[in-house]
Amino acid sequence: MIESSLIAVDWSSSVLELGVFSRSLRGYELRSSFTLPTGMALRPGAQGEITCLFGADVVDEEDNEHTILFRHPGRELPWIEDTELQTELLKNFWQVLHHYLIAKGSLSEGEVASVYLIPPPQFPQSVLEKLRICAGETPLRLQSTTTSAMALVMGAMRLDAFVEDLTNVAGSDEIRAGCFVLKDEFIEGVCFDYKTPGPHYHNIVIRDHFQVTSDKLSARLSDFDCPQLNVLLVVENSECSDSMKARIIASLQQVAGAAQCERLPWSSDVSLKLKGCAELASFATGQFTSPGQHEISHVYNLGVQINQSRFYPLIARELSKSGQFPATSSQSFRLSRRPVHSLRLNFCGGYSTSIAESISLGRVVLSESELDGITGNTYLAASIRLDTPGAGEFFLGLMPENRILRRQSFMLPGLA
């Protein structure tokens, strides 16, 4: 069966955004759009069964002895170790989404639709696989997932004024560009290297991406990987006050330097990222909506969590950009104190080294008996082998014995 509708879903922030697109000769065209709260809840039913709630049904719920609330499921779901509970919540997500679209008249009963999803950035590959399986129990078919950064870049590339600025400034050289979307108290930004080797050919390397509230923008920009931008795009939502716009623009220009700045109002009824998602779907299905080719890659950090706020990059941005695979890197370390019973090490990845922005790529646990083998003359060594731009293997070993204690494969969601 050929799906006539495309559902673009942005679950990457505190509000779930939906765009319903129809297939046409020019690609996918927007038919309707909606927003939903993202909260989830568990509550016992009248017969003792567990009822899952999502979206608007959770707004007025309170966390008590009869209800378990997940106010930020995007951050909380990956850490639920009860796999059955995690699966039930993900099933409920798709079921509620499907019923909601039917109630709004965007889908008919039994109509099969393709879904392109921008998941919460913290979702590891294992949760994305469960999402795909759970979607299959409804007429919604999860065709692909993409990253927020990639969807935002592709949405920006649909703005003619921005693409004209990029091509005019770049010429045959590589330049650095940034796109920032202002909405209420929320700012989302992406930075990328850009060059156009030939007509209608766009080479893009995404270097950094973040989502913050306005009060945390300055702190995040101090960790920004893209100083001295050549082109700056600021998309301003009408709900953002003039005074706030002025403060945010001033902060961005401190980072951007003498960049050519394009400020555009965004009055569309669908977000830039949903348009980018539809653009990616058009490329995947051959329904091109814009001329030319886009080659998109990423640079990122991969490493081991060292405290509550940061992870140590074993492979840093520039090494991941080298394009030479396999790429390997190691770091030895000693324990500052002996854990009481066990030691858990978390492997992380991200554009920055912030735990709050990172993706969990796996974890290993060393037992008490294994820790007993770590004496004053031995130490741990963490290693990464990157086999492709988005997949590889972590190793944890004991030195100088050169003995591997644990090894774990990983995939970067949206990049493997």
Reported as a single tens digit per residue, the pLDDT across 385-403 is: 989 888 899 999 988 888 8
Stretch 70-99: mean pLDDT: 86
Last residue of a domain, one of 298, 326, 353: 298
Is residue 7 over pLDDT 90? yes
- Per-residue confidence at 383, pLDDT binned at 50, 70, 90? very high
Is residue 288 over pLDDT 60? no
Q: Are residues 140 and 154 in the same domain?
A: no
Question: Which of 206, 236, 199, 186 has the alpha carbon at shortest distance from 390?
Answer: 206
Q: Are residues 263 and 386 in the same domain?
A: no
Is residue 300 over pLDDT 80? yes
pLDDT of residue 307: 85
pLDDT of residue 261: 76
Is residue 85 over pLDDT 70? yes
Last residue of a domain, one of 145, 164, 186: 145
Q: What is the CATH number of the domain that holds 327?
A: 2.60.34.10
- The CA–CA distances, whole Å, from 230 to 130, 176, 188, 266, 409 equal 41, 5, 19, 22, 38
Is residue 101 over pLDDT 90? yes
Is residue 290 over pLDDT 60? no
- Per-residue confidence at 304, pLDDT binned at 50, 70, 90? very high
Q: Are residues 259 and 375 in the same domain?
A: no
Q: Are residues 234 and 322 in the same domain?
A: no
Is 416 within the bounds of a domain? no
pLDDT of residue 1: 41
pLDDT of residue 286: 66
Q: Are residues 160 and 270 in the same domain?
A: yes
Q: Are residues 109 and 28 in the same domain?
A: yes
Rg of the Cα atoms in the chain = 23
Q: Are residues 153 and 138 in the same domain?
A: no
Is 406 within the bounds of a domain? yes
Under a CB-based contact definition with an 8 Å cutoff, are residues 187 and 181 in contact? yes
Under a CB-based contact definition with an 8 Å cutoff, are residues 300 and 351 in contact? yes
Q: Beta-carbon neighbour count of residue 288 at 10 Å? A: 13
Q: Are residues 170 and 274 in the same domain?
A: yes
More confident: 234 or 288 = 234
- The CA–CA distances, whole Å, from 86 to 6, 80, 91, 128, 333 equal 26, 6, 9, 12, 34
Is 213 within the bounds of a domain? yes
Is residue 284 over pLDDT 80? no
pLDDT of residue 64: 67
pLDDT of residue 375: 73
In percent, the amount of the chain with pLDDT more than 70 equals 89
Is residue 74 over pLDDT 50? yes
Stretch 268-272: mean pLDDT: 70
Reported as a single tens digit per residue, the pLDDT across 14-48 is: 889 999 998 776 678 888 889 888 888 887 777 76
Is 264 within the bounds of a domain? yes
| Alpha-carbon torsion angle 361, 69, 50, 126, nearest 10 | -10
> What is the tally of structural domains in the chain?
3
Q: Are residues 173 and 277 in the same domain?
A: yes
Reported as a single tens digit per residue, the pLDDT across 128-182 is: 999 999 999 999 999 989 999 999 999 998 888 888 888 888 877 888 899 999 8
More confident: 317 or 280 = 280
Last residue of a domain, one of 145, 169, 186: 145
pLDDT of residue 149: 93
pLDDT of residue 61: 66
Average pLDDT of the chain, as a whole number: 83
Stretch 181-199: mean pLDDT: 86
Is 404 within the bounds of a domain? yes
Mean pLDDT lowest among 66-80, 196-210, 263-277: 263-277
Question: Which of 213, 207, 175, 170 has the alpha carbon at shortest distance from 191?
Answer: 207
Q: Are residues 388 and 292 in the same domain?
A: no
Is 344 within the bounds of a domain? yes
Domain range for residue 396?
301-411
Judged by DSSP in three states, 380 sits in strand
Is 385 within the bounds of a domain? yes
Question: Which of 95, 145, 133, 141 has the alpha carbon at shortest distance from 114?
Answer: 141
Q: Are residues 291 and 241 in the same domain?
A: yes
In percent, the amount of the chain with pLDDT more than 90 equals 25
Task: Compute CA 402 distance to the chain's CA centroid, rounded to the nearest angstrom.
Answer: 36
Q: Are residues 14 and 139 in the same domain?
A: yes
Is residue 371 over pLDDT 70? yes
Mean pLDDT lowest among 50-64, 91-105, 112-126, 243-257: 50-64
Mean pLDDT lowest among 72-76, 98-102, 299-303, 352-356: 72-76
